[in-house]
A and B are shown apart, each in its own frame.
Chain A
Amino acid sequence: MTTAERETETTEVDPTRRVTLKINGKAYKQDVEPRKLLAYAIRDTGLKGTHVGCDSSACGCCVVVLDGDTPVKSCTMFAVQAEGREITTVEGLGQTGALHPLQQAFWDQHGLQCGYCTPGMLMTSYAMLQHHSDPTDQEVREFLGGNLCRCTGYNNIVKAVQQAAQVLRDDKVNQLANAATGGNA
């Protein structure tokens, strides 16, 4: 390819498109090139909890949840593909002082060290618990098979997910009991 051809190719890149990303219940409008990866589009909104670690969909640091229950590596998807989908990032789970049971469990069980893989671990686990409220340790390990951790190993992460699963199951039972008894249980 000659330099002139390369230049032509470069200048013929598609124009940007306007997308609306619905993240944690809030709409963010953004002009993106069609090739822009969702991970970078999310980070450009100022939500920095979604991390990029490998550029090859191998590490899972960028996992977000689509439509409430589907974990997706946001570096595997273009931002334009996320139009109209509900995106949940780690910032949508819970905040300091009001942690989601998963965040609390990772804290209690020492399920993190440098914290870089943690948002992806949390989001994958969150999606799993929407489908499997009572997973075995092996099921947790397999579900987290696309998320790498370098500091902590996985023992404590599995323990944390199990703790959260238990808390969420108890919550459900309590809610049911409350509903059935009009809150007088």
Chain B
Amino acid sequence: MTTTDKNYSMGKSMKRKEDPRFLTGQGNYVDDLVIPGMLSMAIVHSPYPHARIKGIDKTAALAVPGVKAVITGEDLVAASLGWLPTFHGFDKQMVLAVGKVLFQHQEVAAVFAETREAAMDAAELVDVDYEPLDPVSTPFESMKDETILRDDRENKTNHIFHWESGHQDETEAALAASEVIINEKVYSPRCHPSPLEPCGCVAQFDSMGRLHFHVTSQAPHVHRTAISIVTGIPEDKIHVISPDIGGGFGNKVPVYPGYVCAIVGALILKTPVKWIETRTENLTTTGFARDYHMDVTIGARADGTVTALKVKTVADHGAFDAAADPTQYPAGMFGVVTGSYDFPVAFTELDAYFTNKAPGGVAYRCSFRVTEASYAIERGMDLLAGELKMDPAELRKKNFVQKDEFPYKSALGFTYDSGDYEGTLDHAMKLIGYDDLRKEQAEKRSRGELMGIGLSTFTEVVGAGPSKHFDILGIKMFDSAEIRIHPTGSGIIRTGTKSQGQGHETTWAQIVAEELGLDPQNLLVEEGDTDTAPYGLGTYASRSTPVAGAALALAARRIREKARVFAAHLLEASVDDVEWVDHKFSIMGAPDKSVTMKEVAFAAYTNPGEGNEPGLEASLYYDPPNMTFPHGTYIAVVDVDAETGEVKVRRFLAVDDCGTVINPMIVEGQVHGGLTEGYAIAFMQEIPYDAQGNNMAPNLMEYLIPTAVESPIWETGSTVTPSPHHPIGAKGVGESPNVGSPAAFVNAVMDALSPLGVKHIDMPLTREKVWLAVQNAKAVAGD
């Protein structure tokens, strides 16, 4: 295989341009930066989930050789740096605990020393006098308001907000009139994105007083603005650099207390400061995900036609309301909970509560609470199919939004751009041999074996987002592109997004190459440096291709328009007579008279023609008119061992429809990765807290991430339904597999256990839980 083919562009599996760097150990991650004289920072964490701080003695820590300073919350408050704004702006978060700690591992003090070892030694010696208080470890305890956790707030209640969408009365009426009703409480457990590179930063002030801040950031421009707001440093004096990032999955979107402390340390000690999280810090203090308790009710007619949907949710937001959600949707895009189905009426409501747990619910490989919504509706549809004794595929087909109904406005107000749900389901059923699998299952059941087939026909909503609906800290969620074509036909592309492994250096080059007829190998992509990149909202929630990808295509088209002028000059024709055909400019009606973009680029700098502005550059900001709605059908086939509770995933097929595909290899890779994370959520990955508020999975020995041994082998397929409002029809795909797959896994296991009468088990479906469910079912049946 060679990479010399110039015809690599849209739709081609071009090998990634960035890979040689990573393959040879030449990646440039934050922890790789070493500056002479740089200090190391370590953070002191609370062992208690809830405790009053009676005093902090720094003496012993300061006596450790090499230690330069210790800062506490009181010190920060004195400098007006004690509190951080959270995403919503409705709440604020302590940088270092002041007065009391509100969750286990909360940041209490920061130590600066010449070496990492000295900083960590000294952190152990910071003597904090705690008076333990009773912890509140569930939102159900919290809602009693017996212990008010946040006495810094005006409202003396643990209730954070109530949000609702849809029509309550109409939904209740429709449910009352329904011939069949299912109701189930399903829990989407608290989990953590846990990218393999922990979060970290290096803060350095130069001799001009300018802050150069290297940080593991999915959104460097937003971080620059947030740092300016928090510290008061003017934004032009802040240079944020997000170098190679070792995975993000939502975890690297927020601004964390450690970042603020490192900047403060660099400022007061006048020397660079590095802070790299330990894995325990990453798992216990930075952006967790989910923790939604959902009560799902679906009404239907006896023939399976759905009539109404009601979902009531209790959300555990932890100690501060730092959940990443666009402000117009306080529960993110949970409103897509009607999924792929044409519910005539629906109502959803959510109440969020403070608890003594880590704050910061992030969109973990999903777009703002869509994973929870998708899980709720896909479990609900299977429960309904079970109640009606209908095949879950048949039930879904009966209720899909039809492909000629797009744009489709859902009962909860979202306008879906395009889709072909039935086509995708049919394709998946054919690829996996659905009918044969059902026959095999019937045979196995007759022998008492537990085989399950689970479907998920999900609809995602990505591409955050249109500025009328989306912002972070008030900043609207557009994105941007800047393209500069050099005289020799190579170029540089910059966007406001930031790859954390998604392959932007390749796909962005492919989009521009396609639009301009240039060689993608000679289009350099640069992201993550706020001094050079145009302002953008970063990479998360599958927003890069729907938003920045659109900006790139449109910026390239702007360049093409300008290039047409030079082409006309070279062809000695009028601009109106020059057309763009087969990646070249030609004179209309005389296709043999043509010039390439490479020739035109040279002319733009050497021979632009009299009166024409030289140069070939464009920058563009793109505010999308709507979100994009990729969809898919996933099918899991499992065998359950009733004796041990072991679930073997025999097959898993994912058929995704993410609109136009730019690089099939990269899309498939993202699907594989997302499915592996979806598998983790379904079967192993959870951050549980005990009744005393202790985090029970503070490292990767307890927080289980699947290895190559247990990960299933993924089968993939695709259908293509372009987005009508995206310039190249692309919808985004990175989050879909993590959104769509947990329900498919759980549905498959529940299908396997259905002969025993088991209806639902909450994730993660560990062997113990499955075994217990089987034993309980057998006991009930009197076996």
Interface residues of A (CB under 8 A from B): 3, 6-7, 10-11, 33, 35-36, 40, 43, 47-56, 58-59, 61, 89-91, 93-96, 99, 103, 106-108, 110, 112-119, 122, 140-142, 144-158
Contact = CB atoms under 8 A, between A and B. Distances in A.
Contacts, number: 199
Contacts of A116: 27, 29, 195-197, 246-247
A61 B370 CA distance: 31
B279 A53 contact: yes
Contacts of B1: 108
A115 B244 contact: yes
A59, A99, A148, A150 interface centre (most CB from chain B within 10 Å):
A150
Contacts of A96: 20-21, 24, 26
A128 to B, nearest CB: 12
B117 A49 contact: no
Contacts of B707: 141, 144-148, 154
Contacts of B15: 107-108, 110
B196 A148 contact: yes
Nearest to A154: B708
26 contacts: A3-B59, A48-B29, A49-B24, A51-B196, A55-B278, A55-B279, A59-B196, A96-B21, A107-B15, A107-B20, A108-B15, A110-B15, A110-B668, A110-B669, A113-B669, A114-B22, A115-B21, A118-B22, A118-B23, A144-B708, A149-B196, A149-B708, A150-B194, A150-B196, A153-B711, A154-B707
Nearest to A40: B116
Nearest to B246: A116
B700 A148 contact: yes
B665 A47 contact: no
Interface in B63-78: 63-65
A118 B25 CA distance: 8
Contacts of A51: 29, 31, 196-197, 246
Contacts of B676: 149-150, 152-154
Contacts of B699: 54-56, 58
A150 B24 contact: no
B705 A53 contact: no
B501 A114 contact: yes
A90 B20 CA distance: 12
Contacts of B20: 96, 99, 103, 107
Contacts of B670: 113, 151
A152 B737 CA distance: 12
A136 to B, nearest CB: 13
Given A53-B279, A153-B675, A112 B19 contact: yes
A49 B669 contact: no
Nearest to B57: A3
Contacts of B19: 106-107, 112, 115
Contacts of A59: 196, 279, 700, 705
Contacts of A156: 669, 672
A117 B708 CA distance: 13
Given A56-B699, A113-B502, A145 B708 contact: yes
Interface in B500-514: 500-503
B190 interface: no
Interface in B246-265: 246-247, 249
Nearest to B500: A114
Interface in B682-703: 699-701
Contacts of A151: 247, 501, 669-670, 673
Contact of B22 (A6, A53, A56, A112): A112
A117 B196 contact: yes
